[in-house]
Chain A
Amino acid sequence: MRVLMFGWEFPPLISGGLGTACYGMTKHLAEEGEEVIFVLPKAPESLHRPGYQVLSASEIPAHSEEDTHPLPPGVQVWAMNAALIPYTQEHEYKTLIEQHQQSTTSKADSEASIISLSGHYAHNLFEEVQRFAEIGWRLGVRPQYDIIHAHDWMTFPAAIAAKQRSGKPLVTHVHATEFDRTGDHPNQAIVAIEQEGLTQADRVIAVSHRTKHTLIERYGLREEKIDVVHNGIDPQCLVDPATIHKGFREKLVIFVGRITLQKGPEYFLQAAARVLSKDPQIRFVMCGAGDMLPRMIEQAAALRIQHRFHFTGFLRGEALDRLYGMADLFVMSSVSEPFGLTPFEALRYQVPVIVSKQTGAAELLPTAIQVDFWDIHAMAQMILEFCNDTDFARSMRRDEVSTLQRMSWREVAHKLQHIYRRLVLT
């Protein structure tokens, strides 16, 4: 079967979990014998769009991750320069596709600002989404695929256009809703696009039961239309844990995620301040970038905990794995997390995790310590217990790590294949 997949990020152009998930899915679909054409937009590098809510993946300075994310055979990546499309004649289009059949990587700025990656939507994102839809429309003529699969709202207009022109069935995959991202203050234009994508879809995939529930409650979707497919995890460690050495004696508690409202960074920071008032021999790291990062840095300074509370900016690949390898405890304080990949990434390095109850990840970690994101006192208490009771930490870790074995991408690929076949054969 041939799958036309629309995405917003793909390694090495990633800003978060979405690109990693798309990679896991396409790689294992390909291994199971399916063909995948993965289409994503590529914004001109010079485009500067301050002040809005998510960067398109292509703006993230890429560095060579070809080794850690080799392109699987059977997967083609087309990074489309969406900005050019409206001015292009139909006959030029073929050439354009050929030119962009590989995602290009730009040189990384090793000294980029710690707060330069806003982790937020781009300024003219709607325009970009619309241009991307034109690509979908063009890909709808003489379709060489059997099914369309779209990841999150930015790609829905493109996928809908492809479906309308080609008549092929559409699967929309919801990794996060606007309600998750904004903490119940949604941008109605985005909700409308989400709604349209969900309505037009022949099947909807939710990354967790939590998300399925949101789709039913907030978008009025019928329960029967939704399949829950939890993400998988690539169990491979990029860094040999034996080579990782912490430069200090204190226990290390980490937060990894975009520094945005959705991820609840301020609850982690406040819990850390409480922990430090009781036990100063613990260090914390907040890893990530986003619009709230300057405020977090300022708060850490104002609370006078900056000697124990560190910021790394945005990390990925080996650098991120090195951080996981150094950690003694991982905390996810998300306000609303449809799935949440990072706790499982931490578990690869045998790092026990605390997750907020408001995450899809909690569904897969029934034995993990769970806490309401707003309950900074309970969060602080648990961090202290973890750091001071090694037996407790060890047993938690054993239980949690076993979860990883049940989370293979191959299993995810099987579920997708099943969903595809049902649609194509009916």
Chain B
Amino acid sequence: MTRICFYFQVHQPFRLRKDYDFFNIGHSPYYEDTVNNRAIMRKVAEKCYLPMNRLLLELIHRWQGRFRVSFSISGVCLEQFQLYAPDVLASFQELVKTGCVELLGETYYHSLASVYSPKEFSRQIELHRQTLEDLFDYRAQVFRNTELIYSDSIAQQIEGLGFRGIIAEGVDRILDWRSPNFLYQPAPCHRLALFLKNYQLSDDLAFRFSNRDWPSWPLSASTYASWLHQVAGNGEIVNLFMDYETFGEHQWAETGIFEFMRALPDFVFRHPDFHFVTPSEALEQLQPIAKLSFPHYVSWADLDRDLSAWVGNPLQDAAMERVYALEDKVLRLNDPNILHVWRKLQTSDHFYYMCTKWFSDGDVHKYFNPYHTPFDAHIIHSNVLSDFETRLESSLFSGQSPQSQLRPSLTP
């Protein structure tokens, strides 16, 4: 039997104001581009979240539980649903209620805390766990780190936190001759199972679907199902992991992506040995076939599949170090507002915008970058941090309630 495991990443950052210049330092605690964040959330809601959620619900009902998917939704995204798109949140809640949808755990802030501060990493995982419980009455079993950032040490920490599975990129340089279509076990772990993304079949949808230069364009559901069926007999699970925004936002409705997905389960089921599963269901059915060691960090980003989308150039490294250098000070104040603002400054997107790898991956960076250049992104993040540090210092020195000084995120 071969299982198809869909997992969708749902994330939107709190983007910073493009006009947060030097003159705002020490004067304005309003860091976020509320207008733009709302506009983007509404746009993506209309183009992707609402129609795709509707479609998934329709498929779940039509196939009476045989069609199943999983999501990881970042905390900052869930927060923006509550602020700008309660209709989207309601539709996710409805999906989860069907019992055919699994939610994965992650860091609330979609951060790189896993790399910079293991303690902060587990605190942000706990915050996300709490949020899933509050909003969905749901307890996540399987973990998905920010942008599939993964290593042996991360797996070890995740096992310690009680998760049963973890998701990573099926990187060629690690897999070598092995297939991603089996369950593995992280080298240092004994209970945790490892799901590896089949990037070939995932990227056919996420990146190539609308590419007219691609020999397989236009891709039909029956063709794609036949590619999946080729795994029969030499794989137990095909992990199709992608951004949820693939549906309707990266691949516009006009490309036929919705019709493709509507038709896909039917074609998949034409092979009697094929089923859809969520990660925790797979854990009930499968055993890891081997241990696999990832001594270095990998991710699903860019061609490099490493951390170089977020760190590595001086702009990114300096900004990242500066944020995490504030950890002790911020924790000492123990003020929920200040903590929240500081953690939102850790969101990986801020550092992604500072990436100076311009070539083929640079195009993707450019597409998602609200700023003109990586230098603008760095300066704005830096100005905001300068203001934040100034406020932090004055509340540490004066001992006065920082709440009165720092109203985060929302413009008046």
Residues of A within 8 A of B (CB): 110-116, 245-248, 285, 293-294, 297-299, 301-302, 304, 306-307, 310-313, 319, 322-323
The stretch from B57-65, B72-80, B315-323 touching chain A is: B315-323
Contact A307 B317 (CB under 8 A): no
Contact A114 B376 (CB under 8 A): yes
What is the bound-complex CA distance between A275 and B22, given in angstroms?
Answer: 20
Q: Mark B284-324, 1 if CB is under 8 A from A, else 0.
A: 00000000000000000000000000000111011101100
Please pick, from A116, A297, A307, the residue contacting B379 in the complex, using a CB distance under 8 A: A297
Contact B375 A115 (CB under 8 A): yes
Contact A248 B382 (CB under 8 A): no
Please pick, from B372, B383, B385, the residue contacting A113 in the complex, using a CB distance under 8 A: B372
Q: Give 20 A-B pairs besides A247-B25, A247-B27, A319-B23 with Cβ atoms closer than 8 angstroms.
A: A112-B372, A113-B376, A114-B376, A116-B372, A245-B27, A248-B386, A294-B375, A297-B379, A298-B313, A298-B375, A299-B314, A301-B378, A307-B382, A307-B386, A311-B379, A312-B22, A313-B21, A313-B379, A322-B23, A323-B22
Contact B385 A248 (CB under 8 A): no
Contact B375 A293 (CB under 8 A): yes
Chain A residues with CB below 8 A from B390, complex form? 247-248
Min CB–CB distance B366 → chain A (angstroms): 13
Chain A residues with CB below 8 A from B26, complex form? 246-248
Q: A113-B373, A297-B379 are in contact. Are A304 and B23 (CB under 8 A)?
A: no
| B387 touches A (CB below 8 Å) | yes
Chain B residues with CB below 8 A from A304, complex form? 318, 321-322
What is the bound-complex CA distance between A248 and B382, given in angstroms?
Answer: 15
Contact A301 B372 (CB under 8 A): no
Chain B residues with CB below 8 A from A307, complex form? 322, 382, 385-386, 389
| B47 touches A (CB below 8 Å) | no
Chain A residues with CB below 8 A from B385, complex form? 307
| B139 touches A (CB below 8 Å) | no
Q: Mark B376-412, 1 if CB is under 8 A from A, else 0.
A: 1011001101110110000000000000000000000
Q: A113-B376, A115-B373 are in contact. Are A298 and B315 (CB under 8 A)?
A: yes
Nearest residue in A to B354 (C-beta to C-beta)? A301
Chain A residues with CB below 8 A from B371, complex form? 113
Chain A residues with CB below 8 A from B373, complex form? 113-115, 294
Most buried by A among B21, B313, B318: B318
Contact A285 B22 (CB under 8 A): yes
Chain B residues with CB below 8 A from A245, complex form? 27
Chain B residues with CB below 8 A from A319, complex form? 23
Nearest residue in B to A319 (C-beta to C-beta)? B23
Contact B25 A310 (CB under 8 A): yes
What is the bound-complex CA distance between A19 and B74, given in angstroms?
Answer: 52
Chain B residues with CB below 8 A from A247, complex form? 23-27, 387, 390
| B18 touches A (CB below 8 Å) | yes
Q: A115-B373, A115-B375, A293-B375 are in contact. Are A311 and B315 (CB under 8 A)?
A: no
Contact A301 B22 (CB under 8 A): no
A-B CB contact pairs (8 Å), 29 listed: A111-B18, A111-B19, A113-B371, A115-B373, A115-B375, A116-B372, A247-B24, A247-B26, A293-B375, A294-B375, A298-B313, A299-B314, A301-B318, A301-B378, A302-B314, A304-B321, A304-B322, A306-B318, A306-B322, A306-B382, A307-B382, A307-B386, A310-B382, A310-B386, A312-B22, A312-B23, A313-B379, A322-B23, A323-B22
Residues of B within 8 A of A (CB): 18-19, 21-27, 313-315, 317-319, 321-322, 371-373, 375-376, 378-379, 382-383, 385-387, 389-390
Chain B residues with CB below 8 A from A112, complex form? 372
Min CB–CB distance B260 → chain A (angstroms): 37
Nearest residue in A to B374 (C-beta to C-beta)? A294
What is the bound-complex CA distance between A313 and B383, given in angstroms?
Answer: 13
Chain B residues with CB below 8 A from A113, complex form? 371-373, 375-376
Q: A113-B376, A306-B322 are in contact. Are A297 and B315 (CB under 8 A)?
A: yes
Chain A residues with CB below 8 A from B314, complex form? 298-299, 301-302
Q: A302-B318, A307-B385 are in contact. Are A115 and B22 (CB under 8 A)?
A: no
Min CB–CB distance A288 → chain B (angstroms): 12
Most buried by B among A110, A301, A313: A301
Min CB–CB distance A3 → chain B (angstroms): 39
What is the bound-complex CA distance between A301 and B321, given in angstroms?
Answer: 11
Chain A residues with CB below 8 A from B322, complex form? 304, 306-307
Chain A residues with CB below 8 A from B379, complex form? 114, 297, 311, 313
Contact A248 B318 (CB under 8 A): no
What is the bound-complex CA distance between A87 and B373, given in angstroms?
Answer: 38
Min CB–CB distance B91 → chain A (angstroms): 33
Min CB–CB distance B28 → chain A (angstroms): 8
Min CB–CB distance B323 → chain A (angstroms): 11
What is the bound-complex CA distance between A285 and B21, given in angstroms?
Answer: 12
Nearest residue in A to B325 (C-beta to C-beta)? A307
Q: A248-B26, A304-B321 are in contact. Are A110 and B19 (CB under 8 A)?
A: yes
What is the bound-complex CA distance between A285 and B387, given in angstroms?
Answer: 15
Q: A311-B22, A319-B23 are in contact. Are A114 and B386 (CB under 8 A)?
A: no
Please pick, from A294, A301, A302, A312, the residue contacting B21 in the complex, using a CB distance under 8 A: A312
What is the bound-complex CA distance between A312 and B24, given in angstroms?
Answer: 11
Chain A residues with CB below 8 A from B23, complex form? 247, 312, 319, 322-323
What is the bound-complex CA distance between A112 and B21, given in angstroms?
Answer: 12
Contact A301 B25 (CB under 8 A): no
Min CB–CB distance B298 → chain A (angstroms): 25
Nearest residue in A to B21 (C-beta to C-beta)? A312
What is the bound-complex CA distance between A204 and B62, given in angstroms?
Answer: 88
Min CB–CB distance B381 → chain A (angstroms): 10
Nearest residue in A to B322 (C-beta to C-beta)? A307
What is the bound-complex CA distance between A248 and B27, given in angstroms?
Answer: 9
Most buried by A among B315, B317, B321, B385: B315
Nearest residue in A to B389 (C-beta to C-beta)? A307
Contact B375 A297 (CB under 8 A): yes
What is the bound-complex CA distance between A6 and B375, given in angstroms?
Answer: 37
Chain A residues with CB below 8 A from B19, complex form? 110-111
What is the bound-complex CA distance between A245 and B23, given in angstroms?
Answer: 10
Min CB–CB distance B356 → chain A (angstroms): 8
Chain B residues with CB below 8 A from A311, complex form? 22, 379
Chain A residues with CB below 8 A from B315, complex form? 297-298, 301
